[in-house]
């Protein structure tokens, strides 16, 4: 923190909810020019601490000091423009009691509201009810910034924001002259805006001066020293020891191993795009996946806007997602990322073109709206809706409390009322349910919102161990860079581009002079080698040979027959008495099952090659 006189402070603060003590003896000073990152595990009270600073929640004991005349703006995690209200009216409105901006009193002049909306890049004429999550968030930020506050309290401000909006917010905060206290899971954002860090750890604050990039090494050193102290004092307090072992130690070593593996996967993806062979990956989390997971050929989708104009989401796009791919989906708010996800998994039909899923594709889908979570009473009942204490985790029964501990819940949390959970805890709970489902295609729509950094590390490790195919939408640049092997980028106006690698590779590959997350370099389609044969010398379209066309026509029936045979063999081998009654027959059936799977993989690969060649010769590749 700076040496300037504080403009807002807490001294010897204590707060408890029921039997749960959040913090005590906590002291915090914020001065003009301070830009402080507040970090800590989900459920430790970070959001509550912001509310105490803003005067939204009263302390049980201790002092809260605010310099007279100080204006405070608090932007909570959940905030929306009311249905039907114009964005500029929302920003101007005086009474902020219903949307969290509690300390602002006076109405804002219209010209100042428009200036604030321009800073966050939002159209003032938009109305609540038709806004995306990112547009709601930008409206809330404009409402706070328009008052020229002395103190900004930001709770997960990057949630739902696209990359361009995040970078715009970074610029605004770096130029902000007051005090900023920000909670965020976005490591790159925190490093770009903060000058110091406060760590809420076991009900007290530990301060670190310097850029956020040093936090992991610094915090690891503190934990290592505390562990040595705890070992010397034997079993001081068991709960304290559990905190010390929550996956922070050796994080950097695990990260390095994961990044090496990821780079190997990206190189395999590059080699395949050049027509060379790559390592086959099989899904161990669900049924065996087809070689081809999703095939999109010249797909277009658009909607009609409120003004009657056509809004193109995707236009004439061709790609194939193969078994083992890890695909990131990027694009500005409102560009249609969720729509493209629904097109890929077959929930939405294209206006034009063809979408085909692999025959054995089994999907687990994480919905960013968390619509399934509202009706449950506790995390326990959410995972065990039929009662009991066992949850089916990818075909294996697990005790619900033991499974929840893997997502950083303790036994008390398992029985807590759903309404008492933080946003991060609710997100972790949804992830626990989705990751328990048997699948070979995992689709995650904004999974990182509200998660703390320890949970993000755990999630990365879990996804690293997932052997199926992964499609993820996220604006967290660090998360995307550490996870995906290729990117599909929605540039707007129906234009879609593909890139091999992660976010850093995308920045290096996009066309020089392109706008922020805007137009980029030509698409790099993933095609088998046969798909890039040269056209005839006279430039006229060529067709498949008679034998190739005949083979292509017969492959769908061949694949269907093999899939039927595999299902039948699976059913026979699953019979409890098959082996005891006919050991030799069981061995023959098991051998045939493996051979049939290999034949099906070969048939699917051949189908992909011939389809690609046919499209290339017809002039359909690279659209």
Residues 501 and 563 in one domain: no
Residues 197 and 308 in one domain: no
Please answer whether residues 490 and 335 qualify as being in contact, where contact means their C-beta atoms are separated by less than 8 angstroms.
yes
Residue 566's region, left for phi above 0, alpha for psi from -120 to 50, else beta, is: alpha
Task: Identify the residue whose tokens are 């604050």.
Answer: 205
* Domain end residue (candidates: 503, 528, 553): 528
**φ, ψ of residue 267 in degrees (nearest 5):** -65, -40
Residues 494 and 599 in one domain: no
Residues 204 and 319 in one domain: no
Higher pLDDT, 202 or 140: 140
Lowest mean pLDDT among 100-109, 346-355, 491-500: 100-109
> What pLDDT, on a 0 to 100 scale, did the predictor assign at position 544?
75
pLDDT(462) > 90: no
CATH of the domain at 567: 1.10.287.380
Tokens for 335?
């560009």
Range 413-428 average pLDDT:
81
Q: Render 345-380 in DSSP notation, one character per residue.
A: TTSS--SEEEEEE-TT--EEEE-TT-GGGTT-SSHH
Residues 521 and 607 in one domain: no
pLDDT(244) > 60: no
Residues 419 and 464 in one domain: yes
Of 217, 176, 168, 216, the closest CA to residue 194 belongs to 176
Confidence of residue 493 (pLDDT cuts 50, 70, 90): confident
> What pLDDT, on a 0 to 100 scale, did the predictor assign at position 36?
93
> What pLDDT, on a 0 to 100 scale, did the predictor assign at position 212?
85
Please answer whether residues 184 and 159 qualify as being in contact, where contact means their C-beta atoms are separated by less than 8 angstroms.
no
Residues 468 and 370 in one domain: yes
CATH of the domain at 406: 3.40.50.300
**φ, ψ of residue 449 in degrees (nearest 5):** -55, 130
For residue 461, what is the enclosing H or E element?
Answer: helix 453-465
Please answer whether residues 293 and 323 qualify as being in contact, where contact means their C-beta atoms are separated by less than 8 angstroms.
yes
What range does the domain containing 52 cover? Answer: 35-57+68-215
Instruction: Tell me how far apart the alpha carbons of residues 478 and 186 are, in angstroms, rounded to a whole number.
Output: 7
Range 321-342 average pLDDT:
88
pLDDT(393) > 80: yes
Instruction: Tell me how far apart the alpha carbons of residues 169 and 505 are, in angstroms, rounded to a whole number.
Output: 23
Express each pLDDT in 200-220 by its tens digit. 888 888 888 888 888 888 888
Residues 444 and 547 in one domain: no
Regarding pTM above 0.75, the answer is: no
> What pLDDT, on a 0 to 100 scale, did the predictor assign at position 2?
54
Residues 184 and 305 in one domain: no
Tokens for 253?
């070593």
- Number of domains within the chain: 3
Instruction: Tell me how far apart the alpha carbons of residues 408 and 482 are, in angstroms, rounded to a whole number.
Output: 22
Range 601-616 average pLDDT:
74
Q: Does any domain span residue 243?
A: no
Q: Does any domain span residue 258?
A: no
Q: Does any domain span residue 555?
A: yes
pLDDT(250) > 60: no
Instruction: Tell me how far apart the alpha carbons of residues 440 and 310 are, in angstroms, rounded to a whole number.
Output: 35
> What pLDDT, on a 0 to 100 scale, did the predictor assign at position 600?
80
Please answer whether residues 483 and 267 qualify as being in contact, where contact means their C-beta atoms are separated by less than 8 angstroms.
no
Instruction: Tell me how far apart the alpha carbons of residues 290 and 605 are, in angstroms, rounded to a whole number.
Output: 9
Residues 322 and 182 in one domain: no
Q: Does any domain span residue 88?
A: yes
> What pLDDT, on a 0 to 100 scale, did the predictor assign at position 235?
47
Range 250-271 average pLDDT:
60
In a 13 Å sphere around the CA of 586, the CA atoms on its Cβ side amount to 11
Range 136-142 average pLDDT:
91
Q: Does any domain span residue 106?
A: yes
Range 595-607 average pLDDT:
78
Beta-strand runs (E) in 351-420: 352-357, 363-366, 390-393, 396-399
> What pLDDT, on a 0 to 100 scale, did the predictor assign at position 623?
35
Task: Identify the residue whose tokens are 């996009």.
Answer: 510
pLDDT(314) > 60: yes
* Domain end residue (candidates: 504, 528, 552): 528
> What pLDDT, on a 0 to 100 scale, did the predictor assign at position 239?
45
Range 255-264 average pLDDT:
63
Residues 475 and 592 in one domain: no
pLDDT(327) > 70: yes
487 strand-pairing partners: 328, 499
> What pLDDT, on a 0 to 100 scale, did the predictor assign at position 157?
92
DSSP letter at 212 equals G
445 strand-pairing partners: 473
Q: Does any domain span residue 177?
A: yes
pLDDT(532) > 80: no
Task: Identify the residue whose tokens are 């996967």.
Answer: 265
pLDDT(181) > 60: yes
Tokens for 596?
């049939």
Beta strands 6-17 and 20-31 are antiparallel
* Domain end residue (candidates: 528, 552, 583): 528
Higher pLDDT, 357 or 5: 357
pLDDT(76) > 50: yes
3-state secondary structure of 280: coil
Please answer whether residues 149 and 71 qualify as being in contact, where contact means their C-beta atoms are separated by less than 8 angstroms.
yes
Tokens for 301?
């989708």
**How many helices and strands, by DSSP H and E, does the chain display?**
20, 20
207 strand-pairing partners: 198
Residues 377 and 423 in one domain: yes
């Amino acid at each position: 923190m700076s040496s300037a006189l504080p403009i807002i402070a807490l001294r010897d603060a204590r707060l408890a909810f029921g039997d749960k003590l959040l913090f005590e003896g906590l002291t915090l000073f914020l001065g003009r020019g301070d830009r402080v990152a507040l970090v800590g595990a989900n459920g430790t009270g970070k959001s509550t601490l912001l509310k105490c600073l803003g005067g939204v929640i009263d302390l049980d004991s201790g002092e809260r000091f605010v310099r007279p005349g100080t204006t405070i703006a608090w932007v909570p995690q959940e905030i929306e423009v009311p249905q039907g209200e114009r964005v500029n009216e929302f920003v101007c409105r005086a009474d902020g009691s219903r949307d969290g901006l509690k300390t602002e009193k006076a109405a804002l002049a219209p010209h100042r509201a428009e200036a604030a909306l321009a800073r966050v890049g939002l159209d003032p004429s938009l109305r609540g009810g038709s806004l995306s999550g990112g547009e709601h968030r930008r409206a809330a930020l404009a409402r706070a910034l328009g008052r020229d506050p002395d103190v900004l309290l930001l709770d997960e401000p990057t949630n739902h924001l696209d990359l361009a909006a995040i970078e715009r917010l970074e610029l605004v905060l770096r130029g902000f002259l007051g005090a900023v206290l920000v909670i965020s899971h976005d490591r790159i954002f925190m490093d770009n805006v903060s000058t110091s860090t406060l760590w809420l750890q076991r009900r007290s604050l530990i301060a670190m001066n310097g850029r956020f990039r040093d936090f992991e090494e610094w915090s690891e050193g503190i934990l290592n020293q505390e562990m040595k102290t705890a070992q010397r004092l034997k079993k001081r307090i068991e709960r304290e020891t559990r905190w010390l072992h929550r996956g922070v130690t050796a994080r950097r070593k695990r990260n390095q191993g994961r990044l090496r593996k990821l780079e190997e996967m990206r190189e395999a993806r590059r080699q395949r795009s050049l027509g060379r062979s790559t390592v086959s990956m099989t899904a161990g989390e669900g049924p065996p996946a087809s070689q081809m997971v999703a095939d999109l050929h010249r797909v277009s989708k658009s909607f009609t806007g409120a003004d009657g104009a056509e809004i193109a989401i995707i236009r004439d796009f061709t790609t194939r997602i193969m078994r083992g791919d890890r695909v990131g989906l990027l694009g500005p708010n409102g560009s249609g990322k969720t729509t493209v996800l629904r097109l890929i998994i077959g929930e939405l039909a294209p206006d034009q073109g063809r979408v085909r899923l692999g025959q054995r594709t089994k999907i687990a889908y994480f919905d960013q709206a968390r619509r399934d979570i509202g009706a449950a009473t506790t995390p326990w009942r959410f995972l065990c809706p039929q009662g009991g204490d066992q949850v089916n985790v990818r075909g294996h029964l697990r005790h619900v409390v033991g499974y929840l501990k893997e997502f950083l819940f303790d036994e008390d949390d398992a029985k807590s009322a759903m309404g008492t959970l933080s946003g991060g805890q609710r997100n972790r709970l949804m992830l626990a349910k989705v990751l328990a489902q048997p699948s070979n295609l995992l689709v995650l729509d904004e999974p990182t919102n509200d998660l703390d950094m320890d949970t993000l590390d755990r999630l990365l490790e879990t996804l690293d161990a997932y052997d199926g195919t992964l499609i993820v939408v996220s604006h967290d640049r660090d998360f995307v860079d550490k996870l995906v092997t290729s990117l599909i980028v929605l540039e707007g106006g129906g234009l879609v581009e593909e890139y091999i690698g992660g976010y850093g590779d995308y920045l290096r590959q996009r066309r020089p002079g392109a706008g922020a997350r805007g137009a980029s370099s030509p698409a790099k389609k993933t095609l088998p080698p046969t798909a890039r044969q040269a056209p005839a010398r006279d430039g006229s379209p060529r067709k498949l040979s008679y034998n190739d066309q005949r083979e292509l026509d017969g492959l769908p029936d061949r694949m269907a027959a093999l899939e039927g045979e595999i299902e039948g063999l699976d059913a026979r081998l699953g019979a409890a008495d098959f082996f005891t009654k006919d050991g030799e027959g069981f061995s023959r059936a098991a051998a045939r099952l493996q051979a049939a799977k290999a034949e099906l993989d070969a048939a699917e690969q051949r189908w992909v090659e011939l389809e690609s060649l046919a499209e290339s010769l017809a002039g359909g590749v690279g659209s």
